[in-house]
Amino acid sequence: MPLDVIMPALGMAQDSGVIVAWHKRPGDEVAEGDVLFEVETDKATMEVEAAGAGFLADVTAAEGQDVPVGEVIARIADVAGAVPAPSVEDVEPAPPGAPEEPQIQETPEEPDAPGAVPDGHRVIMPVLGMAQDSGLLVVWLVEPGAKVAADDPLFEVETDKSTMEVPAGADGYLAALLAEPGDEVPTGETIAILTEAPVAEPMRRGAAAAPVPAVHADAPAAPEPAPEPAAAIAKSADAEFPRPRAAPVVDGRILASPKARRLALEAGIDLAVIARSGTRPPIHAADVEGFLTRRGSGGATRVLTAEVSSDTFDAFAAWAATEAGLTDPAALLAGFAAAALGRETAIVAVERGPTIASYAVTGRALSEVTRTDAAVPDLILRDVRDLGLAQVALGAAAHPVISLGTSGGRIVLTLECADPAMTAPDCLHLLSELAGRLREPLRHLL
């Protein structure tokens, strides 16, 4: 066995040494303990002895050369004559102490065999509500790779109404997680795979990574897109920050950075308005700035008016009071307005003189309109009919405002909207829908 001659680490903070002189020539016979060469470190020159006997060969470092600590600079061969020079790949890695060579096996970025989604029982995002087309995955209740029974709760899902636990639906091993907490997953889409046999390395990725076709998709024969390599679960040692998740509203608060809040406050913009404009909270400074820019370029406040006869609504209100016990006409207006907005749920504030009543609309049925203390409305109805005013346009506010005036037995509706979240067609739709409901209240019930 030839012995490697290595540039030794001689100082405490030394990472290279200069060969001052070789004391042996290539081919020379050396005995263990013979001085082989002299090396200069930052402070001193020292002699380096041969670690074994043999013949000096393959000298790769010349006198005067600065050689990194740990590098092979020659060999001591068993026999006189040439020993094949080591190729670059054969050079030993730097020994511990060489700071630039961490000896860590990183998890490979791209493993040789990309993990394919394993075959097995497909767990899908279930349809849990009446008009639900997606569910928010809240949390996985089972560790990847773990064994589950059909009745074991497997994950928690949040719909518009509630959060519920969903059982696995089959016995097996949780071989793949195809959605992450926080993902909004269309119903029917596969979010996990249960296999009959345990798997060594369960797969885990987010729903956006590579959607597995929904079970009810009608093209099962189509080739599946090549799945992305699975990210090793243990890749990040840092569990402090989970992957981003949507956290739109917590305890009724819209999440926003301190700077975003300050900018919004300075601009007089309600964060709820920005959130409705399509920005998914948390809202950052750039979102506020973008909103202000859009509003600035979007320019003017939209003002639309409509007129309808007041008779039909008055008759409808009287009918609703006697037949359905719905005695608050303002609540009826709020219900119509929310529906006109195209929302199942909305907060509508009804202003009448100095009093403001907020209504939470939670469904299409007018019995689902209730008084609320919620501060941020989606829409304001400003009823000035008692004041005998016909048409008022008091300037845009942070929320769309529809004023209800009166003129010759007719209700005059004026929509003012500075909200860049509402496009011109949105505004037209809103006002025409509301006017239509006031004209024909039964239309709402249908």
Partner 1 sequence: MREITLSAAVNEALAEEMRRDDRVFILGEDVAEAGTPFKVLSGLVEEFGTARVIDTPIAEPGFMGVAVGAAMTGMRPVVDVMFGDFLFLIMDQLCNQAAKTHYMSGGKLNVPLVVRTNLGATRRSAAQHSQSLHALVAHIPGLKVAMPSSAYEAKGLMKSAIRDDNPVVIFEDKLMYQDKAPVPEEEYLIPLGEAQVLREGSDVTLIGTSSMVQVCQQAAEVLAAEGISAEVIDPRSIVPLDEATLLASARKTSRAIVVDEGHQSFGVTAEIASRLNEKAFYHLDAPVLRLGAMDVPVPFSPALEDLTVPTPDLVAEKARLLCAGELIHAA
Closest distance to partner 1 from the beta carbon of 238 (Å)? 8
Closest distance to partner 1 from the beta carbon of 45 (Å)? 13
Closest distance to partner 1 from the beta carbon of 41 (Å)? 8
Closest distance to partner 1 from the beta carbon of 160 (Å)? 18
Nearer to partner 1, 13 or 197 (CB): 13
Nearer to partner 1, 150 or 247 (CB): 247
Closest distance to partner 1 from the beta carbon of 344 (Å)? 24
Nearer to partner 1, 112 or 240 (CB): 240
Nearer to partner 1, 129 or 242 (CB): 242
Nearer to partner 1, 39 or 255 (CB): 255
Closest distance to partner 1 from the beta carbon of 202 (Å)? 22
Provide the binding-site residues for partner 1, judged by CB under 8 A.
11-15, 42-44, 96-97, 99, 102-105, 237-238, 241-242, 244-245, 247, 250, 255, 257-262, 282, 284-286
Nearer to partner 1, 14 or 312 (CB): 14
Q: How far is CA 249 from CA 174, 193, 263, 282, in A?
A: 31, 31, 19, 8
Closest distance to partner 1 from the beta carbon of 274 (Å)? 13
Nearer to partner 1, 33 or 242 (CB): 242
Distance from C-alpha of 268 to C-alpha of 167, rounded to nearest angstrom: 47
